[in-house]
Amino acid sequence: MNISSGQSIKKAITFSYDDGVTQDIRLIELLNKYGLKCTFNLNSNLFGTNNILHHHGLRIAQYRIALPDIKYVYEGHEVAVHTLTHPMLPKLEKDDIIYQIEEDRKNLEEIVGYDVVGMAYPGGGGGPNNDDRVAQIIKENTKIKYCRTTATTANFELQENLYRFNSSEYHLNWDRMMELGKQFVEMKADKPQIFYIWGHSYEMEYDSRNWVRLENFFEMISGRDDIFYGTNREVLL
């Protein structure tokens, strides 16, 4: 990782967003405005597909970015694997797990022109989206170097298992995320610490206040000389 006991900067913050939806464009504009970095986890067989989600009476567009726009949209950030078609990996056989991950990785590498080494487990209901068996299969049979779960820790401690890496917080838990953000900004770290946030950008449309809340959070945590702002790959590896 890019923060170590031998460096003066011991705090790092990174973001991870899933599914490659059109709301990522607005998110990236905000990230760039505040000098923040994010990893975007994409399903290469779902590029350009459209879906409408229903959330408490709202209809939310889940429109995925089309293939010709992927490289341009995510320039300056990291692209990572989210599998070809977003299945629940614990329900698949070994060969199918490898196929979903490696083919997605190869597709993404061809698009962006660099090695793709990260991943976020796809979920969406139906039970846990990862387990030790799946993690071991990925570690032993793919070129993936880290995998993010949907679990959260509410802390900044380093984790030994990069193949079942848990985030600090989910982005719609606004009160706790802001509280953690204040703690992270104010803390005097004597050892490496990582503040890792994940979510889906289409979820910003669940509440008209969400984009303002997110920008307020970005403003609070950005521009600090004692914090490294990087992609998942830059921070974890």
Q: What total of structural domains would you count in the chain?
A: 1
> Could you give the CA distance from residue 66 to residue 63 in angstroms, rounded to a whole number?
9
> Tell me: the pLDDT tens digits for 83-124?
999 999 999 999 999 999 999 999 999 999 999 999 999 986
Q: Which residues pair with 12 in a beta bridge?
A: 194, 228
DSSP string, 95-119: HHHHHHHHHHHHHHHHHHSS---EE
Give yes or no for residue 3 having a pLDDT over 60.
no
- Tokens 């209901």 sit at which residue? 125
H or E element: which one contains 228? strand 227-229
> Strands (DSSP E) along 56-145, which ranges?
58-63, 78-81, 118-120
- Tell me whether residue 4 is in a domain: no
Q: Is 5 among the domain residues? A: no
pTM: 0.96
- In a domain, residue 184? The reply is yes
Looking at residue 116, which CATH number applies to its domain?
Answer: 3.20.20.370
As a whole number of angstroms, the distance between CA 1 and CA 31 comes to: 21
Per the prediction, the chain carries an average pLDDT of: 96
Q: Do 157 and 193 touch, CB atoms closer than 8 A?
A: yes
User: Based on C-alpha coordinates, what's the Rg of the chain?
Assistant: 17
Query: Domain for residue 2, yes or no?
Result: no
Does a structural domain hold residue 3? no
Answer yes or no: is 62 within a domain: yes
Residue 93, classified by CB atoms within 10 Å of its CB into exposed (0-12), middle (13-18) or buried (19+), is exposed
> Given a cut of 60, is residue 128 above it in pLDDT?
yes
Q: Does 65 map to a domain?
A: yes
- Rounded CA separation 154/196 (Å): 10
Q: Which domain holds residue 155?
A: 11-236
Q: Report d(CA 179, CA 36) in Å as an integer.
A: 19
Q: What is the pLDDT of residues 65-91, one digit of tens each?
A: 999 999 999 999 999 999 999 999 999
Average pLDDT over residues 40-48: 98
DSSP string covering 152-186 = E-SS----S-GGGEEESEETT-HHHHHHHHHHHHH
| pLDDT at position 5 | 44
In a domain, 96, yes or no: yes
43-53: buried (b, 16+ CB within 10 Å) or exposed (e) per residue?
Answer: bbebbeeeeee
